[in-house]
Amino acid sequence: MRPFIKAENVVHEYSRRDEEGNVTDINRALDGVDIEVTAGDFVAVLGANGSGKSTFAKHLNALLVPTEGTLYVDGKDTSDHNNDLKIRQTAGMVFQNPDNQIISNIVEEDVGFGPENIGVPTEEIWRRVEESLKNVEMYEYRKQSPNHLSGGQKQRVAIAGIMAMKPNCIILDEPTAMLDPEGRKSVIKTVRELNKKENITIILITHYMEEVTAADYVYVMGSGQIKMRGTPRQIFARSEELTKYKLTIPEVTKIALELIKKGIQIPKDILYVEELTNALLKLKMHQ
């Protein structure tokens, strides 16, 4: 099967210029990134501030294009501007700050903005608005002003706005950074469901470790490169390496590792509270 996203040695340089337009400073934000994402996958990208993960995200719907290397989204080269519109329809993007991406006074109009701009017929727009608002469980708020929604609800409206354009893939760049625990949970739940039920490819960029446990595959970025790749269990079993990239492991994994250090025999790739407590209770029973 053809990969949905294929990055080959992608390099991106931000250059700063003086008044005459001469380059004075070059910052290599991406330094040879290779990634392949299969359609329908839930992929998480972890990385410290400044590791290049947002720059990479912006490449996925051609907001930025590689300085070197190539990136294909759904088989289309993002460097070719003729592909821009198609790529942006197939790969939608949700940003960190919900307040920066909502533009209408009424929720349903905001969701309809995307499909309207790509020339979807009116009845079809309304059908899609209804469907996508139901998908993110925001249908009952459709006539309200987005101003009165919580952060998590606003992010779900933003996701519905992307869904209404019928993308194959949604890229979320730290969608929960500004939300409270409840809002975070609701956004992550929505994203998971879209992945499972609608088979939407998800690229989730975050530095909350608890959010990536459900991903099929995790990439860890550092200094513009992919430093680690694997399933969440494989990644979190390598805690020392993660610390090197200014990341950490979930608290419960940390507890498990501390116990192993003390000679307790439990698996070292524990990700959930129940998993740890079950393993411990079993151990106690056999004593």
**Where do contacts with other proteins occur on this chain (CB under 8 A)?**
47-50, 96, 150-151, 174, 177-183, 207, 209, 246-248, 250-252, 254-255, 258-259, 261-262, 264, 273-274, 276-277, 280-281, 283-284, 287
Pairing mode, if any, of strands 68-73 and 5-17?
Answer: antiparallel
* Identity of residue 130: E
Q: Which is nearer to other proteins, 125 or 228 (CB)?
A: 228
Minimum distance, C-beta of residue 69 to other proteins, in the bound complex (Å):
26
Burial annotation 8-44 (CB, 10 A radius, 16+ → b, else e): eebebeeeeeeeeeeeeeeebbbbebebebeebbbbb
Minimum distance, C-beta of residue 117 to other proteins, in the bound complex (Å):
30
Q: Which is nearer to other proteins, 20 or 25 (CB)?
A: 25
Q: State whether residue 267 is helix, strand or coil.
A: coil
* Identity of residue 51: S
Q: Which is nearer to other proteins, 113 or 245 (CB)?
A: 245
Minimum distance, C-beta of residue 83 to other proteins, in the bound complex (Å):
32
Q: Which is nearer to other proteins, 46 or 129 (CB)?
A: 46
Q: How far apart are CA 213 and CA 253, in angstroms?
A: 11
Q: Which is nearer to other proteins, 80 or 258 (CB)?
A: 258
Tell me which DSSP letter residue 6 carries: E
Minimum distance, C-beta of residue 220 to other proteins, in the bound complex (Å):
12
Q: How far apart are CA 260 and CA 270, in angstroms?
A: 11
Minimum distance, C-beta of residue 144 to other proteins, in the bound complex (Å):
14
